[in-house]
Amino acid sequence: MSERWRGVLAALLNPDLRAVLAEAMTADPLPDARRRRAITRLAELGLVHESGSDGLEFDEAAVRGILSENPPAKPTGPMRFLDADGRIDRYPAQRGERDELLRWVVERAFPAGEVLTEKQTNERLSAFTGDSAVLRRHLVDAGLLERTRSGSEYARPATSD
């Protein structure tokens, strides 16, 4: 992930750069309702606050605070292949990583010993992907889900300990 955001935030702390940026961004004045909404949002973010008779003031402390925060940890394991909603957004190319992702799905969707119809299986898998058939096929191919010969029922394979 790029650290470019740090440079952008640091630029906002420089009054000269802010002035030039404001010049570059100057557009037609906003209607009052849109301007109030924009001010409210900027205040919620902590970027501006009301200042006496001058109106608004940029809050450098808020930007400095963001710069001092540690960026969020990069996802690891199966989480690397999930979108913000926790659904699979891509399948890993490496078999070991793909198997890890598929095991993660099976552990969450299919309790041991439970036998499900194809419809029930698809409903469970739809929580993880928009294409249940592809995920189901991956699970069967990896040996993590068994289906009857007719394909009408699915279950986790019995483990031999």
**Quick one: pLDDT at residue 54?**
59
- How many angstroms separate the CA atoms of 9 and 5, rounded? 6
**Do 146 and 99 touch, CB atoms closer than 8 A?**
no
DSSP string, 57-124: EE-HHHHHHHHHSPPPPPP-GGGGGB-TTS-B----SSHHHHHHHHHHHHHHH--TT-EEEHHHHHHH
Residue 161 has pLDDT above 50, yes or no: no
Longest CA span, the chain: 78
In sequence order, the 6+-apart residues with CB closer than 8 A to the CB of 19 are none
Positive or negative CA dihedral for 103, 154, 143, 160? Answer: positive
Average per-residue pLDDT for the chain:
87
**Quick one: pLDDT at residue 89?**
93
Structure confidence by residue, pLDDT tens digits, 75-96: 889 999 998 888 999 999 999 9
Residue 78, token pair as written in the block: 């199966």
Averaged pLDDT for residues 52-72: 79
- pLDDT bin (cut points 50, 70, 90) of residue 53 is low
Residue 3 has pLDDT above 70, yes or no: no
In sequence order, the 6+-apart residues with CB closer than 8 A to the CB of 8 are none
Structure confidence by residue, pLDDT tens digits, 16-29: 888 888 878 777 88
Structure confidence by residue, pLDDT tens digits, 86-123: 899 999 999 999 999 999 999 999 999 999 999 999 99
- Fold for 77-155, please state it: Arc Repressor Mutant, subunit A (1.10.10)
**Quick one: pLDDT at residue 1?**
45
**Quick one: pLDDT at residue 160?**
46
Where in the chain are the domains? 4-68, 77-155
What pTM does this model have? 0.57
